[in-house]
Structure 1
């Protein structure tokens, strides 16, 4: 009878099972590379049945099964769990004469198996995952040289598993690298404090829009905004409150401007907006909505209540003017708004 008790300390070893899970091989489809190794083992040993078997907690599962029409068997019917304890090939010349296996289904079936030889599948860190084994319907022996070749093929099975793991790790690394690149690209074009486009990214977008306008695209408008008395906010409430104020302005801009509009933190307390396919009158209405939103919504989390105002310059995006001239004109309009009393929009 079976001399190995259940639970089986070797099979149930958590670290061994963890190593088996690490390779993620159980219940995967058949693969030619494994089939070929099993076929080679059967051919070299002149055996009609060759298996690549992995020992799970309650079953042995076959990654390759040449000459056998089953995918798995219960662990209490496994000869391979005996082979897993060997450093070399485990050979049973006649299963019917061995009291450990004579009662197994493969031995008592109509066409019984009589011979078994199994080489352990040992990971680089020493865990036995299963076996590469061959079986025959007649009792026999296996020459030492053939046993060496079986051990070599078993090592090839492990190399296949290691290669699969390496490829998966590389795939994960490539995904992580691509995500890091994407995040770096976002950061390169984003103002860290407000999450809006930074000056560099916005300038590039302006150049693209200018090229479209020069090819006859629909008119566009530009708006430049400066938070009024921002230095006073920092002096009275601290720089943390100043950061909160800029984030508040950015949040209101996201609400007020349309999805097609591009809003940027231009620098310090200055913001810029590009309104594609928008005339100056329409853009002026957007500016007024922003004035109203600032007046109605104090900066959250600051006491006493801090209500911001902004001075804005507004102009058409002229395709015939160089970009730097357009920006200087817009800047002048914004400072005119400041000189005229702040909290207003001046269009040019």
Structure 2
């Protein structure tokens, strides 16, 4: 049967559906606050059925349902889609006598519904998301007082939806703030270019490790590494190649060192690694793997191909020595490695 008196406006409908999606209410669990409003509507209007109905693109979905054991119905079976197209409460005294609705399933079923009254759920910006509606099995009228109360309850539904939206936005803001704090923490402890620990965070970790060594007396080593002739790389090829060289070395360190080791960019082209539970001879083997890995990798973006080398100072991390003294000794060993020809490791 052809419908009359109803015409969808595609642009308006698209905006209405976008407004509905902003509330994030579709397919959410039943909630007592909405159920209570539906029960109050049923009581005030003395109706056996009351629904909070939200109109999606192809269905009407019920956030609350009293007296009707379904969660949704097809949109082409919805009386509510007529109700949202006009202000005020939409009343149909007898659905069976209205050509628009007489063929609907709720009217032709074994225990038919005959009466309908629906108050549109209108958002503050003017979009009707659905209705708070009541239905009865008998044709009837609705008193002016009940009609007013149905409209008032519909406004309470919108207030609940607005509260949900505000809570959702606040929750998202808090999540975004927490993520921003996390990112700030990461940035505060990470070298932006290489992704390794920066000097500040590595120094804190050294102090923590020193306390553990003083307590547990386990061996540990420190390895200071400096890329050879790095200034020459920048001068010959540009700082962008120098940056890629630093990133290449950082990636190589992630491959060579163990997960429990901590590698930092100590400054410029200088890197410092801490190797817990490691003796000097074991750390020397790690240093040799770094030398070997560098020898196999050409500097990116450079023709003819050029490999990097690194000079290193290696020392035992002695918990009985002040940290500053250990670092000075390590720096002296690195200087010796560079003075003696570079591309080598000197042990303190």
Contact 1:2–1:101 under 8 Å retained in 2: no
| C-alpha distance 217-145 of structure 1, shift in aligned 2 (>3 A) | farther
| C-alpha distance 94-199 of structure 1, shift in aligned 2 (>3 A) | same
Q: 1:1-348 to 2 correspondence within 5 Å?
A: 3-4=3-4, 8-9=8-9, 13-348=13-348
| C-alpha distance 59-335 of structure 1, shift in aligned 2 (>3 A) | closer
Q: Deviations over 1:291-332 (max 9, x none)?
A: 222233221221232222222111100101110011011111
- How far is the alpha carbon of 1:181 from its aligned partner? 1.8
Which shows bigger deviation, 181-190 or 205-214? 181-190
Q: Deviations over 1:109-146 (max 9, x none)?
A: 45443432211111222121221111233443322232
For residues 304 and 178 of structure 2, the distance between their equivalents in structure 1, rounded to whole angstroms, comes to 46
Runs (5+) with no aligned partner, structure 1: none
Which SS does the other structure have where 1:165 is aligned? helix
- TM-score of the superposed pair, with normalisation by structure 2: 0.91
How many residue pairs get aligned? The number is: 348
Q: Deviations over 1:249-287 (max 9, x none)?
A: 222222222222111111111111111111111111111
| C-alpha distance 71-309 of structure 1, shift in aligned 2 (>3 A) | closer
- How far is the alpha carbon of 1:227 from its aligned partner? 1.8
For residues 269 and 234 of structure 1, the distance between their equivalents in structure 2, rounded to whole angstroms, comes to 11
Q: Deviations over 1:149-180 (max 9, x none)?
A: 11111011112222222222222222222222
For residues 229 and 278 of structure 2, the distance between their equivalents in structure 1, rounded to whole angstroms, comes to 30
For residues 87 and 39 of structure 2, the distance between their equivalents in structure 1, rounded to whole angstroms, comes to 23
Contact 1:263–1:273 under 8 Å retained in 2: yes
- TM-score of the superposed pair, with normalisation by structure 1: 0.91
For residues 343 and 162 of structure 1, the distance between their equivalents in structure 2, rounded to whole angstroms, comes to 67
Which SS does the other structure have where 2:216 is aligned? coil
| C-alpha distance 58-341 of structure 1, shift in aligned 2 (>3 A) | closer
Contact 2:245–2:299 under 8 Å retained in 1: yes
| C-alpha distance 96-321 of structure 1, shift in aligned 2 (>3 A) | same
For residues 117 and 130 of structure 1, the distance between their equivalents in structure 2, rounded to whole angstroms, comes to 13
Q: Root-mean-square deviation (CA), in Å?
A: 2.4
Contact 1:261–1:273 under 8 Å retained in 2: yes
Contact 2:227–2:309 under 8 Å retained in 1: yes
